[in-house]
Homo-oligomer: A and B are copies of this chain.
Amino acid sequence: MPVEAREIRLASRPTGWPTAETFEFAEVELPSPGSGEVLVRNAFMSVDPYMRGRMNDVKSYVPPYELGKALEGGAVGEVVESGVDGVSPGDLVLHNSGWRSHALLTRFTKLRPIEGVSPSHFLGALGMPALTAYVGLLDIARFTPGETVFVSGAAGAVGGLVGQIAKLKGAKRVIGSAGSAEKVKHLTEKLGFDAAFNYRDGKVTQQLLAAAPDGIEVYFDNVGGDHLEAALWAMNNHGRVAACGSISGYNEEKLPPGPRNLHQVVTKRLTIRGFIVSDHNDRFQAMIDEVSAWLTAGKLVAEETVVDGLDNAPAAFLGMLRGENTGKMIVRL
């Protein structure tokens, strides 16, 4: 049976911060699924920092969003009608057609629900953000037990998992930075960070050196800018940086200057390595196995900030870019 679907399209490419003019709502009729297709009603959709990059018309690791077309992104949908063997109405699937109420899909992953775990976590603590944290910490930064780890954007979807996974894997000390006193408290009191600071309270370098008197071995970089500079000062010899993102610069119209102390990379024999999570899907099952065990054992906190309604998805996205979320920012449809 055809359905009336609502979707959010890219109305114009933002310069600097996205605004209301960036988005437009539209209605489309979706037909019944043909063979090989499923029709889903989205239950949850994700808003993520990388989406800001896709709004620019530049060649990158994912193609830019197209003007006048629906945005895309991770979502969990419930199957309404199925043209695929083994998939039935009521099944939950993970797919990339977020930013809309319903979607007709050919590519999706059928989810196996986990007792007591919200399906929304397949967009967070059991999804792309978790794989990002897992691969970045273990494979890219090659974290080993007994090391001290610093993570920026620590109250975000990825950062909170990096710190918790590091502790669960035997870190000596885990330090996080975030943008409010409330988030700092959340990190130390709820997520088990050994230390945390509010980067708005003073120079990042001074705050980090105070929190890491013996230096750090690993820095998981979500923000770039002055945080990277601070981490380079605090690094011990042979330290590693997993470069995951630089949200501090995503909405800048001019490129911000880089760290002034890159010479530390030479004198301390540091490694800075960038990565894109989609290159590492071969690690998805290992992540799911470990993280779901921690989650069901109550050893890992899967924090979410939930916004209700497709109408509020643009606001949720902007709020995430401004750091209004604690944990994964989720839109519940």
Pick the contact of A61 from B53, B267, B271, B276 — CB < 8 Å?
Answer: B267
A259 within 8 A of B: yes
Stretch touching chain B among A77-85, A107-115, A168-176, A243-251:
A243-251
Residue from A261, A264, A268, A271 with most neighbouring chain B CB atoms (10 Å) = A271
Contact at B228–A262, with CB atoms within 8 Å? Answer: yes
A53 to chain B: which residues have CB within 8 Å?
267
Contact at A265–B274, with CB atoms within 8 Å? Answer: yes
Chain B proximity mask over A206-230: 1 for CB below 8 Å, otherwise 0: 0000000000000000001000110
Residues in chain A within 8 A of chain B (CB atoms): 53, 60-61, 224, 228-229, 237, 243-246, 249, 255-276, 279
Q: Report the Cα distance A228→B261, complex, angstroms.
A: 13
Contact at A263–B224, with CB atoms within 8 Å? Answer: yes
Q: If A244-B266, A269-B276, A274-B270 touch, does A258 touch B255 (CB 8 Å cutoff)? A: no
Q: Report the Cα distance A60→B243, complex, angstroms.
A: 25
Q: If A271-B274, A279-B269 touch, does A258 touch B249 (CB 8 Å cutoff)? A: no
Pick the contact of A266 from B229, B257, B264, B274 — CB < 8 Å?
Answer: B274
Q: Report the Cα distance A327→B229, complex, angstroms.
A: 33
Pick the contact of A260 from B255, B262, B269, B270 — CB < 8 Å?
Answer: B255
Given A224-B263, A259-B262, A265-B272, 9 new contacts (CB under 8 A): A53-B267, A61-B237, A224-B262, A249-B263, A256-B260, A258-B258, A258-B261, A267-B274, A271-B273
How many copies the complex holds: the figure is: 2
Residue from A255, A263, A273 with most neighbouring chain B CB atoms (10 Å) = A263
A224 to chain B: which residues have CB within 8 Å?
262-263
Q: If A267-B276, A271-B272 touch, does A259 touch B258 (CB 8 Å cutoff)? A: yes
A258 to chain B: which residues have CB within 8 Å?
229, 257-262
Closest to A232 in B: B258
Q: Report the Cα distance A270→B279, complex, angstroms.
A: 13
Contact at B274–A268, with CB atoms within 8 Å? Answer: yes
Contact at B263–A246, with CB atoms within 8 Å? Answer: yes
Pick the contact of A245 from B243, B266, B273 — CB < 8 Å?
Answer: B266
Closest to A221 in B: B266
Q: If A228-B262, A262-B228 touch, does A275 touch B267 (CB 8 Å cutoff)? A: no
Contact at A262–B276, with CB atoms within 8 Å? Answer: no
Q: Report the Cα distance A276→B267, complex, angstroms.
A: 7
3 A-B pairs with least C-beta separation: A258-B258, A255-B260, A257-B257
Contact at B261–A255, with CB atoms within 8 Å? Answer: yes
Q: Report the Cα distance A256→B260, complex, angstroms.
A: 6
Contact at A60–B274, with CB atoms within 8 Å? Answer: no
Q: Report the Cα distance A255→B262, complex, angstroms.
A: 10
